[in-house]
């Protein structure tokens, strides 16, 4: 063996500069050889994520990659699986702003940036239920790494309380992250000794030092109130009302009818159909994403929105101009459903306890997602491999691209289409009570905001400058 070969084998693979910064930023003690292998493992993970072509969150993608390695690596290489798991754990702890970007070739690849300081997170494992926070460093606790054994027990009780009350997975992850920050703000303290003053100090730190908006501060307060009420069993009285941040009223961004037309004609495929539903039926993004086959009633030309915001149901008219497109989508779903059954995938996720009461219901066509993901994925709770609905980042990416193509210079999001729907109904003379029902608002006062941006109201008063000369 010559000296060059011996040197390469001793040093190991080349260390990527960003992997070196990731390791050094967390104070980890790795030699050059180990960092080189971490570079190899993380490169393989990022290639795997790009090849899947489906924008899942970091923890789900990481578990899928580990499962794939577990199935393909020989038993003698089990140490590689452990090494990869360690690298992914440090990766999840050391990055922020995990998102997906479309390449010129039309592929989706993950993008991220390294944190300046890293907060603790549980390891990524095939059987793990942990989730990478992906939050900005300005919201991360600076005092200490969180999970001491006591804190982990309390956080486990919080997760159990959320699931018993059927809170959405998104809400569960958000509340868990806020309580992790709260534990980190008062490290080592027993939660049973926490006082109201400590809650106020934490919220004041968010508002003053970290300069968060009112909605973010109120989100943190909601998580803390839930923990105090349902985990510690302590009533907080009117605390929520006395220290809840006041949110200013903001007028929504609304597109003109011509702008909507230009935007919608710039998007094709399922993404275009989803955006058309948001404008044509006034549906929220997640209401469209979570739509199931049985919820689209072609005979009565109605769409049934189930368990929307506030856990409320409502019905909206099916846009006649979309009927043929929606029926064509349904026909494609028939073929996809048959292929999934042939592949023996697990049935779709069922709400509440229906999967126990009706074990086969998830296999029925009526329960299938109307906008399914391109490929099957692992359920973050059960670990089953099944086809979930399309990720909500897909229409976000589509509308961002469409806005550029349509030459619109407003700040447009998916929710802008819902605002535009309501505003155009006001301009067409539809009464506010009907619009309130269509949007699913609790109060007509919420719906009244659209009267301030509707064209007749804006144009009713003429500027005195126009009357000069």
Residue with tokens 């460093």: 137
Q: Which two tokens stand for residue 395?
A: 């229409």
CB 38 within 8 A of CB 19: yes
Rounded Cα–Cα distance for residues 18 and 24 (Å): 10
- Which of 111, 309, 400, 452 does the annotation list as catalytic? 309
Rounded Cα–Cα distance for residues 56 and 378 (Å): 10
- Which of 173, 284, 290, 388 does the annotation list as catalytic? 284
Inter-helix orientation angle 78-94/58-72, to 10°: 170
Residues 6+ apart with CB under 8 A from 413: 396, 399
Catalytic status, residue 450: yes
- Which of 16, 304, 306, 415 does the annotation list as catalytic? 415
Catalytic status, residue 415: yes
Rounded Cα–Cα distance for residues 198 and 234 (Å): 15
Q: Which two tokens stand for residue 347?
A: 């049935």
- Which of 387, 389, 418, 419 does the annotation list as catalytic? 418
Rounded Cα–Cα distance for residues 195 and 212 (Å): 23
Rounded Cα–Cα distance for residues 85 and 435 (Å): 51
* CA–CA distances in Å: residue 65 to residues 39, 40, 50, 124, 381: 15, 14, 12, 10, 16
Residues 6+ apart with CB under 8 A from 205: 185
Quick one: 57 exposed, middle or buried, by C-beta within 10 A (0-12, 13-18, 19+)? Answer: middle
Cβ neighbours around 290 below 10 Å, total: 22
Catalytic status, residue 284: yes
Rounded Cα–Cα distance for residues 3 and 103 (Å): 42
- Which of 65, 175, 421, 450 does the annotation list as catalytic? 450
Return the half-sphere exposure (C-beta side, CA atoms, 13 A cut-off) of residue 307: 10
Residue with tokens 């159909």: 273
Catalytic status, residue 421: no
Q: Which two tokens stand for residue 190?
A: 């027993």
The residues that are catalytic are 284, 309, 415, 418, 441, 450
């Amino acid at each position: 063996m010559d000296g060059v070969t011996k040197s390469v084998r001793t040093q190991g693979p080349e260390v990527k500069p960003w992997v070196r910064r990731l390791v050094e930023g967390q104070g980890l003690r790795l030699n050059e050889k180990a960092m080189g292998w971490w570079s190899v493992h993380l490169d393989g993970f990022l290639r795997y994520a790009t090849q899947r072509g489906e924008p899942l969150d970091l923890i789900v993608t990481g578990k899928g990659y580990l499962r794939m390695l577990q199935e393909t690596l020989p038993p003698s290489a089990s140490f590689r699986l452990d090494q990869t798991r360690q690298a992914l754990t440090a990766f999840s702890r050391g990055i922020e702003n995990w998102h997906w970007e479309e390449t010129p070739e039309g592929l989706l690849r993950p993008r991220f940036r390294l944190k300046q300081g890293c907060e603790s997170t549980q390891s990524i494992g095939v059987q793990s239920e942990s989730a990478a926070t992906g939050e900005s460093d300005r919201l991360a606790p600076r005092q200490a790494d969180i999970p001491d054994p006591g804190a982990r027990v309390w956080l486990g009780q919080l997760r159990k309380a959320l699931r018993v009350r059927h809170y959405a997975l998104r809400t569960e992850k958000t509340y868990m992250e806020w309580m992790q920050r709260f534990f980190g703000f008062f490290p080592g303290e027993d939660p049973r000794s926490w006082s109201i003053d400590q809650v106020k100090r934490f919220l004041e730190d968010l508002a003053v030092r970290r300069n968060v908006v009112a909605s973010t501060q109120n989100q943190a307060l909601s998580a803390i109130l839930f923990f105090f009420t349902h985990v510690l069993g302590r009533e907080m009285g009117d605390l929520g009302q006395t220290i809840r941040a006041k949110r200013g009223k903001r007028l929504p961004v609304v597109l003109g009818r011509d702008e909507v037309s230009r935007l919608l004609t710039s998007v094709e495929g399922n993404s275009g159909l989803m955006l058309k539903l948001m404008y044509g039926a006034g549906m929220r993004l997640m209401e469209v994403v979570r739509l199931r086959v049985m919820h689209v009633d072609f005979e009565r030309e109605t769409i049934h929105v189930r368990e929307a915001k506030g856990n409320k149901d409502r019905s909206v008219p099916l846009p006649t101009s979309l009927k043929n497109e929606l029926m064509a989508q349904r026909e494609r779903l028939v073929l996809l459903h048959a292929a999934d059954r042939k592949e023996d995938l697990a049935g779709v996720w069922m709400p509440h306890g229906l999967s126990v009461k009706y074990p086969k219901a998830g296999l029925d066509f009526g329960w299938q997602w109307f906008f399914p993901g391109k490929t099957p994925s692992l359920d973050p709770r059960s670990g089953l491999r099944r086809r979930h609905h399309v990720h909500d980042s897909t229409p976000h990416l589509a509308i961002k691209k469409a806005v550029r193509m349509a030459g619109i210079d407003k700040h447009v999001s998916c929710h802008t289409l819902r605002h535009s729907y309501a505003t155009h109904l006001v301009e067409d003379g539809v009464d506010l009570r009907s619009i309130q029902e269509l949007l699913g608002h609790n109060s007509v006062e919420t719906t009244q905001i659209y009267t301030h941006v509707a064209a007749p109201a804006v144009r009713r008063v003429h500027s005195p400058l126009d009357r000069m000369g």
